[in-house]
Structure 1
Amino acid sequence: MSTRRIAFQGELGANSHEACTDHFPDYEPRPYPAFEEAFDAVKSGECQLGMIPIENSIMGRVTDVHHLMPASGLKIVGERFKPIHFQLMANPGVKLEDVRTVASMPIALGQCRRTLKRLKLAEEAAGDTAGAARQLAERPDPTRAAIAPALAAEIYGLEILLRDIEDEHNNTTRFLVMTADRDPPPPSFTDPCVTSFVFRVRNMPAALYKALGGFATNGVNMTKLESYMIEGNFLATQFYADVEGHPEDRNVVFAFEELAFYSKEMKILGVYPAHPFRTTMAEAAD
């Protein structure tokens, strides 16, 4: 029987790898160096799914993904929210007081600044959190440590000296689950769902205001709206948006009709079940 595979960007032991194993334990995780390669693996059928980070609660959106998604031909079939935790790890037998330098990707180092300052550790930038752990395992050094997810310590045979050293414990990354299926099964109408889409408004005064007015008048909650330039043109702006609801819901139908009237392009990227974490966030906000 053939093994089902799920693609992610990064090295084995990265946060995206953890997201794959947490949410799709029956799939074999496949690492790819770049997001474009992970997308291509799903498009070619080499992998059946992709686990792609789109935004982080502290660092914001993942820019490359916003540019790749619309032209990829892939569909979003799910979302997952993953709390991000960083571990300080070293070679077996190394004591915390012997460590002088810590390596990780700059974002991870920045998110663990308080602990590193308290320990007075020198910082060394690496291209990937899991990559820093792998390199430490390949070249043991009792004065060095790495910051990476717990899975990296397990994979590369390192020992965790300090757990969950991130400064902000609400650090969360939202992942999108992607498929090459052009017509994936729609979510149940009885369950909360999310519709993601991109659009470009017409070149006319107040076009964006008018295009979005239909969501307000029809009571459709828009949970995400972001703009980004395309084609290297300051005047060519595309918008990415998430709304609560199904495109066939009566109020969403009317909102999309108004959006289409003021837009020259509009493409639905996916309709998928809302992850339960959204309810947790809403309750916390209240």
Structure 2
Amino acid sequence: MQRIALTEDLSFSRIIHGMWRLAEWEMSPQERLTFIEQCIELGITTFDHADIYGGYTCEGLFGEALRLKPSLRDQIEIVTKTGIKLTGSFNPGQTLNHYDTTKAHIISQIERSLNELGIDQIDTLLIHRPDPLMDPDEVAEAFITLQQSGKVRTFGVSNHVPSTQQLLQSRLPFQLVTNQLELSPMQLKHFEDGSVDLCHEKRMPLMAWSPLAGGQLFSADNYAPLREKLEEIRVRHDASGIDSIVYAWLLKHPVNIMPIIGSGKIERVRTGVDALEIELSREEWFEILKASRGRDVD
């Protein structure tokens, strides 16, 4: 498995596994552990979390599996996110979902994440979404505190546009290491709004969430022309699935995109890993772009 360097002493597997739907897979702790080990065997060592996933349960479910084999911690990298507060039993008295990037909230949530995951240090912490009320100095204070205490190694952002990424970076004494964006042939916005370009300028690898549009690629009527083109290219390359072609399309970009696979089926994970063996031509990359946009380049 190819690895992408984020710092001199931290790298991620080129394919990342996402734990957003872990609570929906209804796996036992042993089944979760087996699944994690199968991912590692495929070369996937980086696992993406967020404090809110599964109604604040997914980190705990992952941690429950890790506790069955603590030695696995040394073989993996753990990413998590914070900054969103959801209503429900976890936040009694809260009446609406909102963002919270205060120092107190960031630090308290990281303490919780560490406890739920059963680990001593998070490899990379991301601010989940841009907060209109973000005080970048306060976020920087939280990051510095967490780094100095050894509880978080590196920091980044998620779903941030250039202006919010640059604002936070301006207050930090160290570099943000990644931005996690929704990127796919079905979601081209960040290729066009400068977000990808800024990361390219900063030599910052990108994490791509929902590369298959949450599974809609396989069924939504509006993606039918794209599916036809992906199938045509799949046949050319004798690939295992059109999802392999989508992952290969992301991998082709020189900014070093790390696609996040969100499936609980190891066969689907293998299909994603197969993309590493597919080398799309430049023309094929633009064939997919045209099928998505419905028009040629200008």
Tell me the TM-score range normalised by the shorter chain. Answer: under 0.3
Higher share of residues assigned helix: 2
Higher radius of gyration, 1 or 2:
1
Structure with higher strand content:
1
- Higher RCO structure (Cα 8 Å, ≥6 apart): 1
TM-score w.r.t. structure 2 length? 0.23
